Amino acid sequence: MAKKVKSFDFTPVGRPAKYPWDQWLDGGIWELKAGEDFDTEIASFRVQIQANAKRRRGYAQTSVRGNFLYIQFIKR
């Protein structure tokens, strides 16, 4: 039978995120090095960045310089 409870911790359960999105999408400008900070192709990783930025109701500026990817989250 269903019952009413006073509180519940709705923190997501499951495996932790592979990358520190909360840190990288804090609004600061971050320099990420391919092969060190992330292990996918830069183009694929940019898609992941945008998806995570969208979940946070924003978007990310990105720029590639050699093996470095620069990102900055912008809140909408």
Total Cβ atoms within 10 A of residue 36:
9
Share of the chain above pLDDT 90, in %: 88
Give DSSP secondary structure letters for 15-40.
Answer: SPPSS-HHHHTSSSEEEEEBTTTB-S
What value does the mean pLDDT take over residues 28-57? 97
Is the pTM here over 0.75, yes or no?
Answer: yes
Residue 50, C-beta contacts closer than 8 angstroms, at least 6 positions apart: 59, 60, 62
Confidence category of residue 28, pLDDT binned at 50, 70, 90: very high
Looking at residue 11, what is its pLDDT? Answer: 80
Domain ranges of the chain: 22-75
What value does the mean pLDDT take over residues 11-15? 80
The better pLDDT of the pair 53, 9 is held by: 53
Looking at residue 20, what is its pLDDT? Answer: 96
**Residue in 27, 26, 52 with CA at minimum distance from that of residue 38:** 52
